[in-house]
Amino acid sequence: MKKAAILTSAAILFGNLAFGTAYAFNDVDAGQAAAVSSLQQKGIVSGIDNERFARKETISYAQSLQMIVKAFDYNLDTMKFAKPPVASGLFAQVRDDAWYADAFVIAYYNNLDIPQDVNPQATVTREQFGSLLMRALEKKANFPMIKIHLPIADEAAITPGNQGAVQRLIHYKIAELDKTGSFLPTAPLSRGEAAVWLYNALDAAASQTRPPVEAEDITLQTEKVNDQVNKVTLSRGAKPNAGYGIQVVGIRFEQDGRAVIRYTLQNPQPDTMYAEVVTEAKAVTYVPAAYKAVLEEVVSN
């Protein structure tokens, strides 16, 4: 597609820019620094200059769409058209020479459900950005179907059509409620918040495509101590160093005669040196002889 020739200051804020050097903005707080830095290095966002990101300023619908389309790499590369589509034929208020015109066309043909009468210059609200972000995310990532209803203090203020998206936004920890448990759906979204939400959404998408960790075979050996007690040894086998471990965190006694031994696995920590000595990672516990020992792994988040 022909790129728009006119760039406004708004385009510079969230345009298709990539810098050879990543600048550390002096107006970004600690909670947003990682998100802003990561998105800047990928060319998804930029500051108003080399030192300021303007995290508290609001963003428009057009800026929001531009950066979401770029972040998730939506495009028209595999689509064929008899003639190039134009934004003005799809959206009532989007000019063909606008810097964001391509983003609207791409969003339309990738079924991101942009309202036909949307005002691209309008300040985006929290629920608008959240709903758009979840649509873009869920078309790229294979999330399981879930039924959830998290308590949101101002849920009644959320547009009915956006309530599901907001629920999932909170569930996947892309956004958070405030201290009162409110989402503030109609409040404008700041640049800093938008960067954090997008950063979290990209991480959520990546988590769905990461290869699963291969399950380990944990062996269980029971030895009689006396008529009342058995010794139970859990082992994950020989490991190359002492950074690998296994720990019993509890035992649950079931009415059907099972002693459910709950355990966690410890793996070597980054940047920690371990002696390269083959070691058996094992743990020992004791259960009443009347119970049959079974295992249950506790996976930490």
pLDDT tens for each residue of 235-284: 998 888 888 899 998 888 888 889 889 888 888 887 677 777 888 999 99
**Quick one: what percent of the chain has pLDDT higher than 90?**
54
Angstrom distance (rounded) from CA 261 to CA 284: 11
When pLDDT is cut at 50, 70 and 90, the band that residue 194 belongs to is: very high
Domain ranges of the chain: 9-209, 219-297
Q: How would you class 35 by CB atoms within 10 Å of its CB: exposed for 0-12, middle for 13-18, buried for 19 or more?
A: buried
When pLDDT is cut at 50, 70 and 90, the band that residue 12 belongs to is: very low
Angstrom distance (rounded) from CA 27 to CA 23: 12
Q: Which is more confident, 58 or 17?
A: 58
Q: Which is more confident, 143 or 158?
A: 158
pTM above 0.85, yes or no: no
Contact partners, residue 259, CB within 8 Å, separation at least 6: 251, 252, 253, 287, 288, 291, 292, 293, 294
Positive or negative CA dihedral for 132, 97, 14, 20? positive
- Kindly state the DSSP code that residue 88 receives in the 8-state scheme: G
Average pLDDT over residues 59-83: 93
CA distances for 178 relative to 85, 149, 154, 157, 170, angstroms:
42, 17, 11, 15, 11
pLDDT for the residue 10? 43
When pLDDT is cut at 50, 70 and 90, the band that residue 15 belongs to is: very low
Examine the pLDDT at 21 and tell me if it is beyond 60.
Answer: no
Examine the pLDDT at 23 and tell me if it is beyond 70.
Answer: no
Q: State the greatest distance between any 2 C-alpha atoms of the chain, in Å, as a whole number.
A: 86
When pLDDT is cut at 50, 70 and 90, the band that residue 175 belongs to is: very high
CA distances for 230 relative to 223, 236, 237, 261, angstroms:
6, 20, 21, 13
Q: Which amino acid is at 50?
A: N
When pLDDT is cut at 50, 70 and 90, the band that residue 208 belongs to is: confident
Average pLDDT over residues 54-67: 94
| Residue 177, both tokens | 């409620």
